[in-house]
Amino acid sequence: MTICEILPATDAQDPALALLRAGQVIAIPTETVYGLAGDATNGVAVARIFEAKGRPRFNPLIAHVADMSMAESIGIFDPLSRKLAEAFWPGPLTLVVALRPDAGIHPLATAGLSTIALRMPRGFGAGLIAALGRPLAAPSANSSGKISATSAEAVRADLGEKIPLVVDAGSTPVGLESTILKVEDGGLRLLRPGGVPAEEIERVAGRPVDRHRRGNVESPGMLASHYAPGAAVRLCAGEVGPGEALLAFGPIRAKDADKALAILNLSDGGDLREAATNLFSYLKALDASGAKVIAVEPIPMQGLGEAINDRLSRAAAPRDMPLARS
């Protein structure tokens, strides 16, 4: 069991930095709700976020930045997105923009998407990110399915056994998550209502916000096509067929693995956290091998295995079909 410390924000920057540099996750106050923060460039840290939350699914996380130059080193801003960032940052607005391929964000944080959700928070988080010099992935600091925490004590009551530090800055001023917005074909799409009212965004942008819901807030993860590689994906493979690539897991190989067009092992030792960090990049690499089919060895349905299997079953689903909500 982890010993969880609560430190006032005034004393917490150095210990927080040390933990983040070591790839740990900690809870930090932001103006919206408490965030479960980890270095967005470190796959193990990002895997720990999903693990601590007990999320059954890898949905893309918001990357928090310290300033505009950090934001521009990660995302490509069209003029309208830049205007909104200038008007509302720091603050409770998240903008989804194109991801720079060389941004260094770990693919587990973006769920392998070519876009990224960016936000510049106010307060303790802003100073922490500037001192770290790297963006923080930080979903709400609560177990999956529970409501967001707006006080340090609420975080400790929920996640205290899983994280080493909660930074306390009292109750969060906004108390609800950020508004998520995406500029699409020159128009504005509201992906999640939140701390900045859509009307305020419309006033600054000088155009209407499309509030029409297309599926769930977690929309990117809901569409098979967002996740699907070019190759077909075959799950629970006990053997490798002709011309297939193999996504392996653990020490025991599928039959005819030596005939695979390419093999990558998510974790030789069968470690699910390591497997999670390799998942998106290995799928991409095997897709690039030219194989028509990627066979995937069975992955246990425990801990992060549930989210890994969720992601893989989306990749294996028939293309262009929306998946049922889960």
**Closest to ligand AMP by CB, 12 or 180:** 180
Pick from 30, 41, 42, 140 the residue near ligand AMP by CB under 6 A. Answer: 140
Give the DSSP per-residue string, 64-117: E-SSHHHHHHHEE--HHHHHHHHHH-SSSEEEEEEEPTTS---HHHHTT-SEEE
Tell me if 218 sits within 8 A of 59, measured CB to CB. Answer: yes
Site for ligand AMP in 161-180 (CB under 6 A): 177, 180
* DSSP structure class, residue 216: -
Residue closest to Mg ion when measured from CB atoms:
140
**CA 18 to CA 100: how far, in whole Å?**
28
Most distant CA atoms of the chain, gap in Å = 62
**Closest to ligand AMP by CB, 74 or 248:** 74
Pick from 30, 32, 94, 140 the residue near Mg ion by CB under 5 A. Answer: 140
Tell me phi and psi for residue 220, to 5 degrees: -60, -35
Pick from 49, 61, 129, 291 the residue near ligand AMP by CB under 6 A. Answer: 61
**Closest to Mg ion by CB, 140 or 267:** 140
Instruction: Name the token pair of 174.
Output: 């906004």
Question: Judged by CB under 6 A, does residue 191 bind ligand AMP?
Answer: yes
**CA 47 to CA 29: how far, in whole Å?**
21
**CA 101 to CA 276: how far, in whole Å?**
20
Give the DSSP per-residue string, 120-178: ---THHHHHHHHHTS-EE--BSS-TTSPPP-SHHHHHHHHTTT-SEEEE-SS-SS-SPP
**Closest to Mg ion by CB, 42 or 142:** 142
Question: Judged by CB under 6 A, does residue 62 bind ligand AMP?
Answer: yes
Question: Judged by CB under 6 A, does residue 52 bind ligand AMP?
Answer: no
H or E segment to which residue 26 belongs: strand 26-28
Question: Judged by CB under 6 A, does residue 217 bind ligand AMP?
Answer: yes
Judged by CB under 5 A, which stretch of 1-9, 38-46, 135-143, 203-211 contacts Mg ion?
135-143
**CA 81 to CA 79: how far, in whole Å?**
6
Question: Judged by CB under 6 A, does residue 218 bind ligand AMP?
Answer: yes
Question: Judged by CB under 6 A, does residue 70 bind ligand AMP?
Answer: no
**Closest to Mg ion by CB, 146 or 211:** 146
Tell me if 49 sits within 8 A of 61, measured CB to CB. Answer: yes
Pick from 9, 25, 96, 183 the residue near ligand AMP by CB under 6 A. Answer: 96
Q: How far is CA 55 from the centre of its chain?
A: 11
Q: How far is the CB of 170 from ligand AMP (least distance, A)?
A: 20
Sequence letter at residue 41: T
Pick from 13, 17, 115, 303 the residue near ligand AMP by CB under 6 A. Answer: 115
**Binding marks (x or -) toward Mg ion, 205..244, rule CB under 5 A?**
----------------------------------------
**CA 297 to CA 279: how far, in whole Å?**
13
Task: State the binding partner of 229 from ligand AMP, Mg ion, none, CB within 5 to 8 A by kind.
Answer: none
Judged by CB under 5 A, which stretch of 101-109, 138-146, 198-206, 312-320 contacts Mg ion?
138-146
Judged by CB under 6 A, which stretch of 41-49, 58-66, 227-235, 277-285 contacts ligand AMP?
58-66
Tell me phi and psi for residue 5, to 5 degrees: -105, 145
**Closest to ligand AMP by CB, 136 or 272:** 136
Q: Which residues bind ligand AMP (CB under 6 A)?
A: 59-62, 96, 113, 115-117, 139-140, 177, 180, 191-192, 217-218, 220
Q: Which residues bind Mg ion (CB under 5 A)?
A: 140
